[in-house]
Amino acid sequence: MKSVVKIEKGLEGVYFTESKICKVDGTLGRLCYRGYSIEDLAENSTFEEVSYPLLFGVLPKKGELNTFKKDLSDKRALPKEIIKIIEESVNKCDTMHILRTAVSALPLYDKNLDSKTSDKLQDSINLISKVASITATIGRYLYGKKYVAPNKNLGHAENFLYMLNGVLPSKKDSRILDKMMILHAEHSSNASTFSALVTASTLSDIYSAFTSAIGTLKGPLHGEADENALRMMYAIKDANNTENYINNALNKKERIMGFGHRIYKTYDPRARIIRSLLTEMQKSNNTEIKNITEIALAAEKMMIEKLGKSHGIWPNVDFFAGPVYRYINIPIDIFTPLFATGRSPGWCAHIIEYLENNRLIRPLELYEGKTNLHYKKISSR
């Protein structure tokens, strides 16, 4: 008799643990980290100040924030071996391969690291800090330039732009990137966070768990969507072509990157905040920026009319991110590593929280293959 098993493909709708880190309300389109709304944090806070409660549970007092910022900035410099990995692999493979390789190599060059005894909070600070430096350095080598040593006097986003471009960034660009990093910092049990937890739940180390998360983020259904959404805007070329292009794609049953979400069946609140930056971008003198902004707005309008209310497919965090990153001159090839850079405190916070009450993650699959076959030697098959 065949047993009756209900399979939730993609674990859709399945709760696997409790968490106090982040609440995503997909019906109302609300998001909060540690109880604070994303709108409040994006408007008033900084990436460092948001990372702190993700890791430690509460907003920092002034002294705590200063210590945390110093800890982050002290860990920014990359070992020469990591710079070499980046230098040798840039333009030979996907930037997410480089990021994943460099992160997994970090423990090789960290004399203080012992995966059995190490302090997960200190490792998290190291990862948050170093992932930003690795991503900026990948971007640097993509431009054919050399490693820029970090500047301890700069904030996290500001230093990222400094290490990418080799010049002090404007306050305006730094603030835009800071906001983008806040918006990407955390998002409950998304695919990459879940995969970090699967690895962590075996009592492996945090670097391995983080590396798993990077591998998962790479996919076009997850972190790579911002890059692909922008590539679509470039392919559309002119806002007047938007309707034709999207209709053709939908007729061919293609997915429009940057739209739709497993949890949000309404406008993603992060996308709404990012969209608000487009008003200023519409006035840009840069033709690339003006053009992709107009295309993004035309595509948004059309997709909402076609699939918004009727199918619950709305813009997600990835749709407007590409034009905004281009506005602050970030190369498209590091968009996904930059997503990982922003998401790093969320991954670390979940790993730490899950391990406080660990249970090996080991779901079941329903076997539907044959049984009772008898092995035949290769000569008689």
> Using the rule CB under 6 A, which residue among 190, 193, 195, 216 binds ligand CMC?
190
* CA–CA gap between residue 266 and residue 30 (Å, rounded): 10
CA-angle at 372, arms to 366 and 373, nearest 5°: 110
From 152-160, 193-201, 258-266, 275-283, span contacting ligand CMC (CB under 6 A): 258-266
DSSP assigned state of 315: B
Strands of the sheet containing 36-37, edge to edge, are: 22-25, 30-33, 36-37
Least separation in angstroms between CB 190 and ligand CMC: 5
Residue closer to ligand CMC (CB basis): 174 or 193: 193
> Using the rule CB under 6 A, which residue among 214, 256, 297, 340 binds ligand CMC?
256
Which among 122, 139, 160, 127 has a CA at the least distance from the CA of 46? 160
Residue 22 contacts residue 31 (beta carbons within 8 Å):
yes
The answer to whether 222 is a known catalytic residue is: yes
Residue 72 Cα to chain centre, angstroms: 19
Q: What share of the chain is helix, strand, coil (3-state, %, to 5)?
A: 60, 5, 40
Least separation in angstroms between CB 109 and ligand CMC: 30
From 27-35, 50-58, 81-89, 256-264, span contacting ligand CMC (CB under 6 A): 256-264
Residue closer to ligand CMC (CB basis): 24 or 85: 24
Residue closer to ligand CMC (CB basis): 209 or 340: 340
From 136-144, 218-226, 327-335, 346-354, span contacting ligand CMC (CB under 6 A): 218-226
> Using the rule CB under 6 A, which residue among 139, 223, 323, 342 binds ligand CMC?
223
Which candidate in 178, 261, 268, 350 is catalytic?
261
Least separation in angstroms between CB 236 and ligand CMC: 15
In Å, the largest CA–CA distance within the chain is 76
The answer to whether 374 is a known catalytic residue is: no
Least separation in angstroms between CB 312 and ligand CMC: 8
Least separation in angstroms between CB 264 and ligand CMC: 8
Which among 266, 280, 264, 261 has a CA at the least distance from the CA of 324? 280
* CA–CA gap between residue 163 and residue 337 (Å, rounded): 15
Residue 45 contacts residue 62 (beta carbons within 8 Å):
no
> Using the rule CB under 6 A, which residue among 97, 255, 272, 290 binds ligand CMC?
255
Tally the residues of the chain: 381
Give residue for tokens 């007092």: 61
Least separation in angstroms between CB 310 and ligand CMC: 11
Draw the binding track, 302-341, toward ligand CMC (x: CB under 6 A; -: no contact).
Answer: ---------x-x--xxx-----------------------
* CA–CA gap between residue 116 and residue 114 (Å, rounded): 6
Give CA separation, 380 vs 136, 209, 371, 376, in Å.
58, 45, 20, 6
Give CA separation, 167 vs 72, 160, 162, in Å.
20, 11, 5
Least separation in angstroms between CB 65 and ligand CMC: 28
> Using the rule CB under 6 A, which residue among 69, 130, 218, 261 binds ligand CMC?
261
222 belongs to the binding site for ligand CMC (CB under 6 A) = yes
The answer to whether 187 is a known catalytic residue is: no
From 75-83, 164-172, 259-267, 277-285, span contacting ligand CMC (CB under 6 A): 259-267
Residue 213 contacts residue 192 (beta carbons within 8 Å):
yes
Q: Which active-site residues does the annotation give?
A: 222, 261, 318
The residues that touch ligand CMC, with contacts defined as CB under 6 A, are: 190, 221-223, 225, 255-262, 311, 313, 316-318
